[in-house]
Amino acid sequence: MGTTKPNRGKRAESKDESKQRILAAAADMLREEGGGSFSVADVMARAGLTHGAFYSHFPDKDALIEAAFRAAFNYRESWLAAAEGAPAHERVPRLLEGYLNAKHRDRPAAGCAFAACAQEFAHGTAAQRRAFADEIETTLSRLTALLGGKDGNADTAACESEVIGLLSLCVGAMSLARAVEDPALSTRILEAALNYGRGPAA
């Protein structure tokens, strides 16, 4: 009996590792393809696992898409972290510059899940729309704290309104920049949004 516990532990660890590989592959594909157009077989192949192993982790593809979306916010963490160390007056410009750039536009698999998935999730399942709303709320809360509304004072509501505008500008401009075929127009969209966000002084 003493030898079965380590084996069970190793099996559980292996199962968790396999699930994380599936989630990572699906999160990348979700952002690359803008939704759930990929198949389960595609995800499992990218994760380097057999198709049959999928159902030991997820009941169906919809559950995978929801979980993969929630796992796709590593970009948010690095985006916010880059502004956290800046002086208060430099944080909005740092956020704008960190989001509205060609590198982010050209690497959707490593980028923001909001810009990649907004259109498809608007027509997704109720669970997917709830996941989208949850991540929006989390991002707005983090931005509000970062930009000065964290003390619960009278400025909090105004700050929350500002961060909704900031996030909407970033996600909307990135979505437009990726949607157009003309590279010059795409760049103009990003540059115009960046300058608009900086304000008249820009």
In the chain, where the domains are located = 4-70, 74-198
**Given the structure tokens 């979505």, which residue do they identify?**
175
pLDDT in tens, 85-130: 899 999 999 999 999 999 999 999 899 999 999 988 898 889 999 9
Q: Which of 76-90, 119-133, 153-167 has the lowest mean pLDDT?
A: 153-167
Nearest to 115 by CA among 199, 190, 195: 190
1.10.357.10, 1.10.3720.10, 3.60.15.10, 1.10.760.10: CATH of 74-198: 1.10.357.10
Q: Which residues contact 58 (CB under 8 A, 6 or more apart)?
A: 22, 64, 67
CATH superfamily of 4-70: Homeodomain-like (1.10.10.60)
pLDDT in tens, 9-53: 666 677 889 999 999 999 999 998 876 678 999 999 999 999 889
Q: Which of 33-37, 62-66, 142-146 has the lowest mean pLDDT?
A: 33-37
The yes-or-no verdict on residue 1 having pLDDT over 80 is: no
Token digits of residue 4: 């079965």
Q: Which helix (H) or strand (E) holds 184?
A: helix 183-198
pTM: 0.81
